[in-house]
Amino acid sequence: MKPLLLATRGLTVRYGDITAVEDVDLTLAAGESVALVGRNGVGKSTLLRALAGLVPHDGTIVRRPPERVPRARSESQSSDVRIAFVPQRATPRWDLPISVWEAVATSRISTRRWWRRPDTADRDAIETAIARLGLGALAQRPVGALSGGQAQRVLLARALAQEPDLLLLDEPFDGLDADSLDAVLAALTDLAAADTAVCCALHDLPLARRVFGRAVLLDGRVLADGPADVILATGLAGEPSIPAVLGGVLP
């Protein structure tokens, strides 16, 4: 049994009079890969933002940091779970005159004084993230010269360089070319093997069923939660069917 990293109880997010997600009970354990599925507008992005601590909410979110070796001599045992979040259609300033390596390095600023150069631990984390996303040959290329799929890989590499315990992804596969998709899927496999939990909102049901071990079906609340091959293949007796909730049928 993998250690629990995060648990929610009665998690509810409202925007004025609109309830985006309601009464969500969810657990995420180390090394777990979870797909959040549901049609557009059912609260997937809002739930991820709440888990990342980016939006106000009712209910509780309990984070349980794992035991870990400090990344540097000056770092004490962290009192919280390290969470990295890659939002949907993030639009960084790719016109800045920086390389892929430098763009990924910006994610490490929180681990040191901003004016200090990256130390050995920083460089190791940066280069490991770049390698995991298949960006080694592009490390010195200007970010403005990248394709859309390559740019998306840089965003994910920035998240990985933070060495998160929990990685939250919002539609990370949208618009990826075949090479970028293969690189991202390989990175997710590596993360699971390293006990990093991944929670990913996506609409590609066959991909969710193939890649993720667990699926959570949302429609403002949790309709079903269980093994991905079961939830995404058959629906759940007594609950809205997958075609009804997602507005389509599985191939």
Q: Which residue has the higher pLDDT, 139 or 112?
A: 139
Average pLDDT value for residue range 217-221: 94
Q: What pLDDT is attached to residue 27?
A: 97
167, β-bridge pairs:
84, 198
Is the same domain home to 114 and 48?
Answer: no
Q: How confident is the model at residue 90 (pLDDT cuts 50, 70, 90)?
A: low
With the CA atoms of 177, 182, 184 and 187 taken in that order, what torsion angle do they form, in degrees rounded to the nearest 10? -170
92 and 56 assigned to the same domain: no
User: Nearest-CA neighbor of 214 among 190, 192, 230?
Assistant: 230
The DSSP annotation for 178-208 comes to: HHHHHHHHHHHHHHHHTT-EEEEE---HHHH
Does residue 153 carry a pLDDT above 90? yes
Weakest mean pLDDT among 65-74, 158-167, 206-215? 65-74
Residues 56 and 37 in one domain: yes
Evaluate if residue 239 carries a pLDDT over 70.
no
| 75 part of a folded domain | no
Domain count, the chain: 2
Domain hosting 10: range is: 1-69+167-188+196-251
pLDDT at position 175 is 83
Q: HSE-up of 199 (CA within 13 Å, CB side)?
A: 28
Do 97 and 156 have their domain in common? Answer: yes
153 near 184, Cβ under 8 Å?
yes
Residue 2's pLDDT band, with cuts at 50, 70 and 90, is confident
- Shared-domain flag, residues 93 and 118: yes
- pLDDT digits over 6-51, tens only? 999 999 999 999 999 999 999 999 999 999 999 889 999 999 999 9
Cβ–Cβ < 8 Å for 209, 53: no
Per-residue pLDDT, averaged over 105-124, amounts to 76
Q: How confident is the model at residue 53 (pLDDT cuts 50, 70, 90)?
A: very high
What is the value of pTM for the model shown? 0.86
Residues 64 and 115 in one domain: no
Confidence at residue 119, expressed as pLDDT on a 0 to 100 scale: 81
Q: Are residues 218 and 97 in the same domain?
A: no
For residue 117, is pLDDT > 80?
Answer: no
For β-strands 214-218 and 33-37, DSSP reports them as parallel
Q: Tell me the average pLDDT across 168-178.
A: 92
Predicted confidence at residue 96, as pLDDT, reads 77
d(CA 35, CA 47): 12
Question: What would the mean pLDDT of 215-243 be, rounded to a whole number?
Answer: 77
Which CATH number do you get for residue 243?
3.40.50.300
CA distance 42 to 251: 22
Taking residues 59-81, what's their average pLDDT?
A: 66
Q: How far is CA 211 from CA 115, 160, 185, in A?
A: 40, 18, 8
d(C-alpha 170, C-alpha 190), whole Å: 19
DSSP state of 239: S
Alpha-helical runs (H) found in the chain: 44-51, 100-105, 120-132, 148-161, 178-193, 205-211, 228-234, 242-246
Q: Is the pLDDT of residue 77 over 50?
A: no
Q: Please give the Cα distance from 83 to 163 (Å, whole number).
A: 9
At 245, the pLDDT band (50, 70, 90 cuts) reads low
Q: Which amino acid is at 126?
A: I
pLDDT value of residue 97: 85
Based on C-alpha coordinates, what's the Rg of the chain?
Answer: 18
The per-residue pLDDT for 73 is 40
**Signed CA dihedral, 187, 50, 63, 211: sign only:** negative
Bridge-based pairing state of the strands 33-37 and 58-63: unpaired
Indicate the pLDDT class of residue 172, thresholds 50, 70 and 90.
very high
